[in-house]
């Protein structure tokens, strides 16, 4: 706002007619209860018409709350928030744009530096016309290796993402089945509140712990496992009728932990970056040969193409890294939150004794489960 005011002041000082017009507007904009003598004696204020009215504090708070609500609203189809999508776009596009701009300005310097280091007419002739086909074969081999490895990595990460979603849906379905069977079997027994507490502990300390290492969750002691505790309190001498449901839930839990375990090491991503660097390194070498034909202007044109190619390669690598880290739009936390919300609400109602089930006769009589 200060910059705008300064610009208007310079314009008014340079143009008397504009300053006089602003002065007239400022006079008309003054309060109507002021006396004419005060209006005439007051100094001219050419900035009054240029300054927009400030928003009230209440409107600013409402606008901030609306923006916050919109960014954190979960999309019913993708179960993701605009904030997660925005974070993913920034983490992918910002490094890509920075790398592209750096490549554009660095390409002529790298090409001229290589040309000064070589400084041989025969080498320049081979590089400019590629008569030996060596550089072309080099680009073909490196590009083929990079595309194969990147394509297989992306496909593998996409399959892992799909397996995570399938395992989560399976596990939440089995957890709902366990809650329903627990109510039917132990609804009138004194151990019913304890079983509900174990199910609540399983949801909060196991099912929703998406950021915890899966191997550590599986390596917990049996006495700290809520599912093991449910089996212990419901079995007297022989396994209870809940044994089959708990066993199926454990299998679904193992599938979820196995699908969420990171399978590609960090060295794999590092090798992808090395291959990308090798592929990009060959283009300044070609520029060192073509500068003998077109000079610096041809290097500028090639710099644009080199920047576009760098943007595409970095964009691909950043997308794979986002899948590898399971962050932002590729995070399953939003899906988990939506799936578990109904289960948590039903569990809370039953723990509070507010869940009502139909009577055994005609479904018109109701009773509270204690």
The full set of domain ranges for the chain reads 1-60, 82-368
Q: According to the model, what pLDDT value does residue 126 have?
A: 63
pLDDT mean over 132-149 = 82
Contacts of 260 (CB under 8 A, 6+ apart): 164, 167, 210, 214, 326
CB atoms within 10 A of CB 313: 23
Q: According to the model, what pLDDT value does residue 363 have?
A: 45
More confident site: 284 or 361: 284
Q: According to the model, what pLDDT value does residue 30 have?
A: 46
Q: According to the model, what pLDDT value does residue 40 have?
A: 38
Please state, in angstroms and rounded to a whole number, the distance separating the CA atoms of residues 120 and 162: 55
More confident site: 201 or 50: 201
Q: According to the model, what pLDDT value does residue 233 have?
A: 82
pLDDT mean over 75-81 = 71
Contacts of 278 (CB under 8 A, 6+ apart): 142
pLDDT at 19 over 90: no
More confident site: 75 or 174: 174
| Contact by Cβ (8 Å): 214, 258 | yes
Please state, in angstroms and rounded to a whole number, the distance separating the CA atoms of residues 44 and 56: 26
- Band the pLDDT of 312: cuts 50, 70, 90: very high
More confident site: 166 or 59: 166
**3-state DSSP assignment of residue 361:** coil
More confident site: 127 or 144: 144
Highest mean pLDDT out of 27-36, 161-170, 183-192: 161-170
Nearest to 146 by CA among 305, 319, 308, 272: 272
DSSP-assigned states of every residue in 306-359: HHHHHHHHHHHHHHHHHHHHT-GGG-SHHHHHHHHHHHHHHHHHHHTT--EEE-
Average model confidence (pLDDT) for the chain? 76
Q: According to the model, what pLDDT value does residue 368 have?
A: 40
- Band the pLDDT of 76: cuts 50, 70, 90: low
Please state, in angstroms and rounded to a whole number, the distance separating the CA atoms of residues 178 and 182: 6
More confident site: 328 or 266: 266
- Band the pLDDT of 366: cuts 50, 70, 90: very low
pLDDT, one tens digit per residue, over 97-119 is 999 999 999 988 888 887 777 77
Contacts of 55 (CB under 8 A, 6+ apart): 63
Q: According to the model, what pLDDT value does residue 14 have?
A: 46
pLDDT at 35 over 50: no
Cα torsion angle, 350, 353, 356, 357, sign: positive
pTM, rounded to two decimals: 0.68
User: C-alpha distances in angstroms, 300 versus 96, 197, 283, 310?
Assistant: 20, 68, 13, 15
**3-state DSSP assignment of residue 78:** coil
Please state, in angstroms and rounded to a whole number, the distance separating the CA atoms of residues 152 and 267: 16
- Band the pLDDT of 317: cuts 50, 70, 90: very high
Alpha carbon 199 to chain centroid distance? 31
More confident site: 140 or 365: 140
Residue 25: φ, ψ to 5°: -65, -40
User: C-alpha distances in angstroms, 106 versus 179, 281, 312, 317, 332?
Assistant: 62, 12, 17, 21, 39
């Amino acid at each position: 706002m200060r910059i705008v005011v300064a610009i208007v002041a310079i314009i008014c000082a340079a143009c008397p007619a504009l300053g006089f017009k602003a002065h007239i507007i400022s006079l008309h904009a003054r309060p109507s209860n002021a006396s004419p003598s005060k209006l005439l004696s007051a100094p001219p204020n050419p900035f009054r018409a240029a300054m927009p009215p400030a928003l009230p504090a209440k409107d600013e708070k409402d606008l901030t709350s609306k923006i916050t609500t919109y960014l954190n609203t979960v999309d019913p189809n993708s179960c993701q928030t605009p904030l997660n999508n925005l974070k993913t776009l920034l983490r992918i596009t910002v490094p890509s744009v920075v790398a592209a701009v750096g490549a554009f300005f660095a390409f002529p310097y790298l090409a001229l530096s290589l040309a000064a280091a070589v400084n041989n007419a025969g080498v320049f002739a081979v590089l400019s016309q590629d008569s030996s086909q060596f550089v072309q074969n080099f680009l073909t081999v490196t590009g083929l290796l990079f595309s194969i490895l990147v394509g297989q990595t992306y496909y593998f990460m996409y399959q892992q993402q799909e397996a995570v979603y399938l395992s989560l849906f399976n596990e939440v379905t089995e957890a709902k089945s366990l809650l329903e069977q627990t109510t039917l079997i132990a609804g009138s027994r004194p151990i019913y509140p304890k079983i509900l507490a174990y199910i609540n502990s399983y949801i909060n300390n196991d099912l929703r712990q998406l950021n915890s290492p899966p191997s550590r969750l599986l390596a917990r002691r049996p006495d700290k496992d809520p599912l093991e505790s449910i089996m212990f309190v419901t079995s007297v001498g022989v396994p209870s009728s809940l044994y089959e449901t708990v066993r199926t839930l454990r299998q679904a839990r193992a599938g979820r932990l196995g699908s969420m375990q990171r399978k590609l090491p960090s060295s794999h991503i590092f090798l992808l970056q090395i291959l990308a660097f090798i592929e990009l390194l060959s283009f300044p070498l070609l520029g060192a040969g073509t500068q003998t034909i077109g000079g610096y202007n041809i290097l500028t044109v090639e710099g644009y193409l080199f920047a576009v190619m760098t943007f595409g390669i970095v964009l691909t690598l950043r997308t794979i890294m986002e899948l590898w880290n399971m962050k932002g739009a590729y995070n399953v936390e939003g899906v988990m939150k939506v799936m578990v919300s109904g289960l948590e609400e039903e569990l809370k109602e039953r723990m509070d004794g507010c869940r009502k089930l139909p009577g055994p006769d005609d479904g018109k009589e109701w009773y509270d489960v204690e």
